[in-house]
Amino acid sequence: MATTYPKCSPTEMLGLLVLLNDHKGAEDVALLADDLDLEIDEIFPALEYAELLQFVKVTDGRATFTDLGRKLVAASIRERKTFVREQLKKTPLFRTILRALDANPEHRLTEEEFGHIISFTTAKADGAEQNIVNWGRYADLFRYDADTHMICPARRSTYAKGGGGRSPPSSALAGGAAPPKEPAGSGEAPRGPGNATATA
């Protein structure tokens, strides 16, 4: 069975969780979508990934925070990144990417090697690889080195040579989207479909 990949951005997922928090941590999915002036299927990607990362539980069309989800929305920006990082590391996709980085003698992956890993997911949408990189960068798991066109560990170390950790140019990987930003203040609910229309 193909593994799951994120079809939303970190900002979209976190924005949805902030909105759920405004609804006291439990609400019908239809009402959450209505609050965002979106169709239900447009918020499903963020909701599904939040459930995959164990921040929410969805039962009979109602989303409810898990204990971990409540801790996430109550945390600082830095702490939120830590929560997301630890949950991503438990997923097959990100666990595989990190193992491949660790196994490589130079601790780097070419775009081809990275794409080979992604090919085992259900990712078909344009920009899927870039979105996966954005999640890795948000959670400080890995980054894209624009100088070498390689996936590298998030922080420089004794084995990481060169590279400034800049965001990929528009021609690199798929989509060329800008890196995600953390919702400021109380958080910003996801607006517009973005990657929401991507299907598994």
106 CB contacts (<8 Å, ≥6 apart)?
159, 161
pLDDT in the model for residue 175: 39
pLDDT value, residue 180:
42
Segment holding 179, helix H or strand E: none
The reported pLDDT for the residue numbered 79 is: 97
pLDDT in the model for residue 182: 47
Assign 124 a pLDDT band (cuts: 50, 70, 90). Answer: low
Token pair in block for residue 2: 């193909």
Q: How many residues does the chain have?
A: 200
Report the distance separating Cα 147 and Cα 69, nearest Å.
37
Question: Are 136 and 145 contacting, i.e. CB atoms less than 8 angstroms apart?
Answer: no
pLDDT range class, residue 95, cuts 50, 70, 90? very high
* Highest mean pLDDT, choosing among 137-146, 147-156, 162-171: 137-146
Q: What is the mean pLDDT of residues 64-84?
A: 97
Q: Is the pLDDT of residue 20 over 90?
A: yes
Structure tokens at 103: 């196994």
The DSSP code for 168 is: P
Give the rounded distance of the alpha carbon of 32 from its chain centre: 20
Give the sign of the dihedral formed by CA 151, CA 92, CA 41, CA 66. negative
Whole-angstrom distance, CA of residue 135 vs CA of residue 171: 19
Report the distance separating Cα 145 and Cα 153, nearest Å: 10
Residue-wise pLDDT tens digits, 40-71: 999 999 999 999 999 999 999 999 999 999 99
Residue spans of alpha helices (H) in the chain? 10-22, 29-35, 40-52, 67-74, 77-88, 92-103, 111-118, 128-138
Q: Is the pLDDT of residue 170 over 80?
A: no
pLDDT at 132 exceeding the cut of 80: yes
Cα–Cα distance for residue pair 169/176, rounded to 1 Å: 6
What is the chain's mean pLDDT, rounded? 81
